[in-house]
Amino acid sequence: MHAASGFPGAGAGPGAGAGADAGAGAGEGAAALPIPAPYAARVRRNEPMAAHCSWHAGGAAQAFFNPRDIEELVGFLRALPASVPVYWVGLGTNLLVREGGIRGVVIATAGAFTRIERRSASSVYCEASVPCARIARNCANWSLPQAEFFAGIPGSLGGALAMNAGAFGDETWRHVHTVETIDRAGERRRRGVADYQVGYRTVALRSASAAAAPTEWFLSAELHFDPQAAAGGTIPELMQRRRDTQPLGAWSCGSVFKNPAGDHAARLIESAGLKGTRIGDALVSEKHANFIINCGQARASDLERLILHVQATVQQRFGILLEPEVRIVGEESV
C-alpha cells in the first residue's frame, strides 16, 4: 500500500544480515511517540528498516505497525494523533531509508491485504499487498492474458499503482478500472481512473480531486484484462529474459533510475563507463547498469552516494539528469 499521490522483493543475497545501519537518529525519540493505548503492544519501536527493504540497508523506524486487516488499520489511523507522521511500506523493493531513520510511524502492509480473486471474464480484484508476480501467476492459471508483464515487477500491487510500474512494454494503469484508497484520517474512498493523472512512472490525483481530499494510499484495485487478447509471452519466457539481463539474486531495488525520454538509463550509465563503479559495498551492476547492488555490507549512505555519483557523471557526459525511480526517505545520520 503506497501513496496514491505519487511508490516494488529481491531474493537472497550475500554477506551480512539486515539491520546493520539501524541506530541513532529518528529512533531516538521512539519512547515519546504518542501511540494509542489499544495498539501500543503491537507497535515495535526502533525497528531496523534494513529488515524490510530489498537493499538490506538503512536506519530504524521510530515506530512500526503491521495491521492485521483493514478494520485494524482504520482504527489505528483514526486513533493516531494527526501530528504523527505516517509512512507506508509494502515489500520495500523500491525504497532506501537513510541511516538516521524514519520519524513517525511506518505502516507495513506485508502479510495483510493479500486477497486476489477473479470477478468476471475480464476483471480481477486485487488488494494492495499482493505481489505482482502472484497477479501474473493467477491470471495465467485463469487463462487470462495481458497480465504476464506483472511477473517482471519486483514488488506489490500497491507500489505498482503508486508509480505506474511496468515491464516488458506494458504498464499497471493500462489495466486499472477502479481503486480503493484510504487517507490519514482512516477514511476510505473508491476512485476511477479519471481521478488520476497518470504518466511514465508517475501517478497523482488530479487537481480537483486532490483539493477535495488529503493524501491517500491504495488499498485495492479492480484490474481489467482482455480475455481475447494475445498473451505477451509466457511467464517462464519473460522470467528467463529477466534472468539473462538482470542481477536477480543480488540485493538491489530493481531499476534505480527512470528512463529519460527517447533513451534508456542503463545505456547512458554504461556509456559513461560506470559499470562496476563501487562506493563502499555499493556496486553498479556489471550485468545491468541501472541496478545498484549491496554486495553485503553497504550502508544506506554508500548507496545514496553512488546514486548521486551516477547522476552527476551521466549529466556531465551527456547533459541528461537521470531521475531516480527509487524513493529515498528518512533522516541523515548524525
Residue 165 burial by Cβ neighbours in a 10 Å radius (0-12, 13-18, 19+):
buried
- DSSP per residue over 140-183, as a string? HHTT-TT-GGGGG--SBHHHHHHHT-EETTEEGGGGEEEEEEEE
Instruction: Tell me whether residue 141 is exposed, middle or buried, using C-beta atoms within 10 angstroms of its C-beta: 0 to 12, 13 to 18, 19 or more.
Output: exposed
Q: 128 - beta bridge partners?
A: none
Could you tell me the three cell numbers for 299?
Answer: 550502508
Check if 216 is active-site.
Answer: no
Of 201, 241, 242, 317, catalytic: 201
Instruction: Spot the catalytic one: 216, 325, 327, 331.
Output: 325
Cell of 171: 504498464
Q: How far apart are CA 91 and CA 31, in angstroms?
A: 26
Cell triple for 264 = 534508456
Neighbours of 142 (CB within 10 A): 14
Active site residue 325: yes
Residue 223 pairs with which residues in a beta bridge? Answer: 124, 176
Residue 49 C-alpha cell reads as 528498516
Choose the catalytic residue: 255, 299, 301, 304.
255
**Alpha-carbon span 175 to 179, nearest angstrom:** 11
| Closest by Cα among 200, 129, 196 to 170 | 200
Q: Is 201 a catalytic residue?
A: yes
Write the CA distances from 252 to 192, 308, 324, integer angstroms: 33, 16, 14
> 115: burial class by Cβ within 10 Å (0-12, 13-18, 19+)?
exposed
Catalytic site positions: 201, 255, 325
